[in-house]
């Protein structure tokens, strides 16, 4: 099975601390690297993670609060200094284009590579990126400014060839792709060999949902049904649920409710308020609703 991993670079909230960096993650899938959010200090976290800068092909920005995008122009500049030549795709709320153009004109006039901006309508659930192996769709969220999440979904793969059976029935190499795609094989004597004797089932399709800053949305689960791994912000514990509502954030218990209703495989908490010296209280509250919950942590890598 091809790698599908999430690398956590930062899981803190707006106020910088010595314990947590601002929001940023790398999604690694089938040898491709995608960044989600790029808070201040992300470049240093990339260095610590030993992820190759040049392998990042696209960056997805959930919204325009500084702890999710202040690091982007610096990273764009560094790509130029490193001699990048391949295009870099930026997917962000349409409002960011005006700011980005000013920053590029001021700091990055000679990048040496093409920067392609894709405006995202944060109010829609729609496919915003697609290649031969996956799709990325936006997930409408409700924050103090336009904001969306993202769901990465693998495309189905072909069935797995059983080499020994192919030899037994003398299936030509030229027919391998047809067999992988579900075709039966007819021998020269006219015997039909069913595909299930020649192949094993394809790998299960995997998915990862990133739900950035948002107040609790009771219907959010409808966009992410049966997701394998869900990241959902959990800025506060129940003790501060009034603050969560006021500032359009979620509590850990509310994040767990979304995971439960979505029938998610695993929940990862993050975007912790700086008031907590330990996030154990958040983990404990979430586990009361959704037991398969973990805490995100800088330099942690999670298999989807």
Q: Are 2 and 296 in contact (CB under 8 A)?
A: no
Q: Is the pLDDT of residue 1 over 80?
A: no
Q: Could you give the CA distance from residue 189 to residue 171 in angstroms, rounded to a whole number?
A: 13
- For 279-291, what is the mean pLDDT? 98
Distance (Å, whole) CA 280 – CA 295: 8
What pLDDT does residue 189 have?
Answer: 82
**Residue 177 binned pLDDT confidence (cut-offs 50, 70, 90):** confident
Domains of the chain in start order, with CATH, are 4-157+203-303 (3.60.15.10), 160-200 (no CATH)
What's the distance, Cα to Cα, between the start and end of the chain in Å? Answer: 11
* Residue 112's pLDDT band (cuts 50, 70, 90): very high
Q: For residue 35, with 0-12 CB atoms within 10 Å meaning exposed, 13-18 middle and 19 or more buried, which class applies?
A: buried
Going by pLDDT thresholds of 50, 70 and 90, the confidence category of residue 278 is very high
Between 41 and 160, whose confidence is greater?
41
179-233 pLDDT, tens digit per residue, is: 888 888 888 888 888 898 788 888 889 999 999 999 999 999 999 999 999 999 9
How many other C-beta atoms can be found within 10 angstroms of the C-beta atom of residue 218? 10
Contact present, 74 and 43 (Cβ < 8 Å) = yes
d(CA 95, CA 119): 8
Q: Exposed, middle or buried, 79 (CB in 10 Å: 0-12/13-18/19+)?
A: buried
Dist. CA 211–CA 270, nearest whole Å: 10
Alpha-carbon radius of gyration of the chain: 22
| Catalytic member of 67, 101, 189, 203 | 67
pLDDT band at 72 (very low <50, low <70, confident <90, very high): very high
Does the reported pTM lie above 0.85?
Answer: yes
pLDDT: which is higher, 155 or 203:
155
164 has catalytic annotation: no
State the average pLDDT for the chain: 95
Strands 56-60 and 32-38: parallel
């Amino acid at each position: 099975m091809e790698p599908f991993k999430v690398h956590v670079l930062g899981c803190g909230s707006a106020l910088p601390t010595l314990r947590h960096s601002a929001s940023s993650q790398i999604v690694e899938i089938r040898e491709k690297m995608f960044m989600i959010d790029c808070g201040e200090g992300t470049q240093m976290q990339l260095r610590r993670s030993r992820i190759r800068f040049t392998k990042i092909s696209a960056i997805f920005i959930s919204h325009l609060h500084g702890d999710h995008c202040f690091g982007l122009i610096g990273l764009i500049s560094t790509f130029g200094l490193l001699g990048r030549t391949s295009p870099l795709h930026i997917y962000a709320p349409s409002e960011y284009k005006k700011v980005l153009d000013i920053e590029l004109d001021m700091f990055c006039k000679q990048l040496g590579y093409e920067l392609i901006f894709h405006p995202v309508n944060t109010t829609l659930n729609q496919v915003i990126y697609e290649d031969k192996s996956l799709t990325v769709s936006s997930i409408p969220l409700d924050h103090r400014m336009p904001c969306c999440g993202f769901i990465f979904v693998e495309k189905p793969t072909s069935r797995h060839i059983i080499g020994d059976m192919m030899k037994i029935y003398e299936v030509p190499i030229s027919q391998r792709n047809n067999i992988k795609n579900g075709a039966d094989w007819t021998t020269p004597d006219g015997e039909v060999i069913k595909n299930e004797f020649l192949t094993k089932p394809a790998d299960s399709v995997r998915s990862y949902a990133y739900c950035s800053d948002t107040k609790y949305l009771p219907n959010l689960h409808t966009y992410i049904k049966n997701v394998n791994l869900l990241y959902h912000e959990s800025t506060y514990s129940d003790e501060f649920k009034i603050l969560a509502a006021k500032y359009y954030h979620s509590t850990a218990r509310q994040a767990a409710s979304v995971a439960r209703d979505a029938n998610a495989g695993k929940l990862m908490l993050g975007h912790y308020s700086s008031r907590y010296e330990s996030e154990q209280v958040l983990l404990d509250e979430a586990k009361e609703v959704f037991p398969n919950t973990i805490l995100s942590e800088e330099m942690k890598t999670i298999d989807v």
